[in-house]
Amino acid sequence: MTDAAVTARQIRQGLLTPEEVLDEALQRIHARNDLNAFVSGEGLTAIGKNQGLLAGVPVSIKDNLLMKGALCRCGSRALEGYRAPYTATVVSNILAAGVSLVGRSNMDEFGMGSTTESSCFGPTLNPWRLGHVPGGSSGGAAASVAAGLTPIAIGSSTGGSLRQPASYCGVVGLKPTYGRLSRRGLVAYASSLDVVGPIAATVEDCSLALRAMMGEDPLDSSQKPETDLIPLSGPVEEGAKDLRIGLISDALSEGNHPDINALVNHSAALLESAGAFVEPCSLPDLDRSLAAYYVIATAEASSNLARIDGLRFGPSTSADTLDELYRRNRSQGFGREVKRRILMGTFCLSAGYAHAIYQRALAQQARLQQELGQLFERYDALVLPTTPDVAPPLGAHTDPHQMMLSDIYTVLANLAGVPAISIPCGLSRGLPVGVQLMASQGQESLLLRLAKTLENRLEFPRCPN
Amino acid sequence: MKPRIDEELIGQLCDLARIRINAEEAEVLQRDLARLVEFVGRLEELPPDGIVLTEGSAARRVDQPGDSSSETLLDLSSHTDGHFVRIPPVIDSDD
């Protein structure tokens, strides 16, 4: 598969047509049905244009992004038959940039999971090793890019759903600053943490996708004015000279597989060799941040998903009372993980516990933002692992606590609203490992620059197909 | 405060969330919740100062599970019109 930047250039020059490129992409997708990277049912395709930043580039969208008139399931039985009444702003923006849409990528039900095993469409497989998970919740997006089906996939992240699957699949995943991109038309999981973002085969393609999705949206009040953010333009330049990089030593714990720590240290050394000043730094609140994340995310999920009752969305049964109807529809529609998180969130917001748990989680979030702010006064960017280990085998995460721990290094950026990127930095036991770079709000261009610097020095192999 | 995660609490939460689970799921959930609560218990080491829940509080009343009578809903709504809840339009008809 050719990179998006090259494909778009060739289409703009008239060397290829969007129809040819889309047809090839659909053939590749059909040939790799075994991955289950795309949701089944009605196809979602749109032929792109021969002009624009991403002219004719085949792109998929996650199953939680709306497209007017098209089915949107969020990987859930609860949204069976639901058709979107409007198009997500980011989807409108990438269509305006010329992309061809190839379909909807598989995901954990309502984004709740780290393995893409909780989808009602069945699990997505990791193209590096089919018996392993691709990560989640944007697992279909990461697997499709890793397998070379599309150069770019649009996903979303609430606690690591772009970086973690990108790490497990050996591709690039960027979680933008909260408010950089419009959330209008993204089905909400935890609104104060949710962001849309790209997964791509290269840093350059990730940058192109981000730029194509950008644009002020008066219909999203959580979006930051573009004047408050560092602008992004042109190709990504590499370079780390004189930049100050903090290597978070608390994240290089004994709980990680030793290969992870070695590869992250190696990446930091490569940045140093490129002219950066790298030194260890400390962020001792990692564990508590994960706890805070699970309280805030589940609390918001229990509230956001209260609307899924079978009346306005999804299939409905019959019952003698309205209350019983809600119970039946919700009980039959939601899968086990979603029910678990809704009940956990309900607990966190219950009178008597809201103060003890929810309010303290907010305090921890504020404290983390303060600590990270202090670190960003000393450093331009931070380096840490994306995950403690490589992709586990399918079915290995039966314990929700274990699954939670795989998010320990990614929830930070969501809680603090800062941008972070995961890029592949090596292999461990034949599976990809990601290194994560994090910067202060609005500093995506700095992250992309550092990521490009590493990408050029690491020469990470593409997934063998 | 360490809450007691028992069948009664699980039943109460299911009522509040309008979700029904079977006995096997309830048993697993009880175990999961206990572990999660133990894990998030680390937050109790922190003083909750400086953060105030919004007016009207996100906290739900557990003493009235499933109370969805018209009077209660109207009473909880900020904008009403007679016996109706007034909700501003969110989608234009031509969108």
- pLDDT 10s per residue in chain A (465 long)? 789 999 999 999 999 999 999 999 999 999 999 999 999 767 788 899 999 999 999 999 999 999 999 999 999 999 999 999 999 999 999 999 999 999 999 999 999 999 999 999 999 999 999 999 999 999 999 999 999 999 999 999 999 999 999 999 999 999 999 999 999 999 999 999 999 999 999 999 999 999 999 999 999 999 888 777 777 877 888 899 999 999 999 999 999 999 999 999 999 999 999 999 999 999 988 878 998 999 999 999 999 999 999 888 888 888 999 999 999 999 999 998 999 999 999 998 988 777 778 888 898 899 999 999 999 999 999 999 999 999 999 999 777 777 888 899 999 999 999 999 999 999 999 999 999 999 999 999 999 999 999 999 998 888 887
Q: CA A4 to CA A56: how far, in whole Å?
A: 9
Length of chain B in residues, anyone?
A: 95
| Residue B31 contacts A, CB cutoff 8 Å | no
ipTM of the complex: 0.86
Is the pLDDT at B57 greater than 50? The verdict is no
To the query of whether residue A224 is one of the catalytic residues in this protein, the response is: no
Length of chain A in residues, anyone?
A: 465
Residue in B1, B13, B60 closest to A351 by CB: B60
Asked if B21's CB is within 8 angstroms of A347's CB, the reply is no
User: Residue A434 in contact with residue A178, Cβ under 8 Å?
Assistant: no
Phi and psi, residue A226, nearest 5°: -60, -25
| Residue B67 contacts A, CB cutoff 8 Å | no
To the query of whether residue A175 is one of the catalytic residues in this protein, the response is: no
To the query of whether residue A241 is one of the catalytic residues in this protein, the response is: no
Q: Could you tell me which residue, A273 or B89, shows the higher pLDDT? A: A273
Q: Could you tell me which residue, A107 or B80, shows the higher pLDDT? A: A107
Q: How confident is the model at residue B63 (pLDDT cuts 50, 70, 90)?
A: very low
pLDDT of residue B51: 52
Q: CA A187 to CA A311: how far, in whole Å?
A: 17
- For B35, counting Cβ atoms within 10 Å of its Cβ (0-12 exposed, 13-18 middle, 19+ buried), the class is middle
> pTM value?
0.91
Is the pLDDT at B48 greater than 80? The verdict is no
Q: CA A359 to CA A341: how far, in whole Å?
A: 18
Q: How confident is the model at residue B84 (pLDDT cuts 50, 70, 90)?
A: confident
Instruction: Give me the residues paired with residue B70 across strands.
Output: none
Asked if B51's CB is within 8 angstroms of A362's CB, the reply is yes
User: Which residue of A330, A350, A405 to mutate against B (max B Cβ within 10 Å)?
Assistant: A350
A316: left (phi over 0), alpha (psi -120 to 50) or beta: beta
Q: CA A463 to CA A142: how far, in whole Å?
A: 12
Residue in A86, A288, A346 closest to B42 by CB: A288
B77: left (phi over 0), alpha (psi -120 to 50) or beta: beta
Is the pLDDT at B55 greater than 60? The verdict is no
User: Which residue of A220, A357, A401 to mutate against B (max B Cβ within 10 Å)?
Assistant: A357
Is residue B60 classed as helix, strand or coil in its secondary structure?
Answer: strand
Is residue B50 classed as helix, strand or coil in its secondary structure?
Answer: coil
Residues 6+ apart with CB under 8 A from A91: A61, A65, A66, A67, A154, A185
DSSP B20: -
- Compute the mean pLDDT over every residue in chain B, rounded to the nearest whole number: 73
pLDDT of residue B54: 44
Q: How confident is the model at residue B58 (pLDDT cuts 50, 70, 90)?
A: very low
Q: How confident is the model at residue B50 (pLDDT cuts 50, 70, 90)?
A: low
- When mean pLDDT is compared across A277-291, A298-312, B7-21, B31-45, the lowest value belongs to B31-45
Q: How far out from the chain centre does Cα B80 lie?
A: 23
Asked if B48's CB is within 8 angstroms of A360's CB, the reply is yes
Choosing from A105, A118, A157, A161, which is the catalytic residue? A161
Asked if B36's CB is within 8 angstroms of A350's CB, the reply is no
pLDDT of residue B67: 59
| Residue B59 contacts A, CB cutoff 8 Å | yes
Please write down the long-range contacts of A253-257, taking CB distance under 8 Å and 24 or more positions apart.
A253/A388, A255/A388, A255/A405, A256/A385, A256/A388, A256/A389, A257/A388, A257/A389, A257/A390, A257/A428
Q: How confident is the model at residue B77 (pLDDT cuts 50, 70, 90)?
A: confident
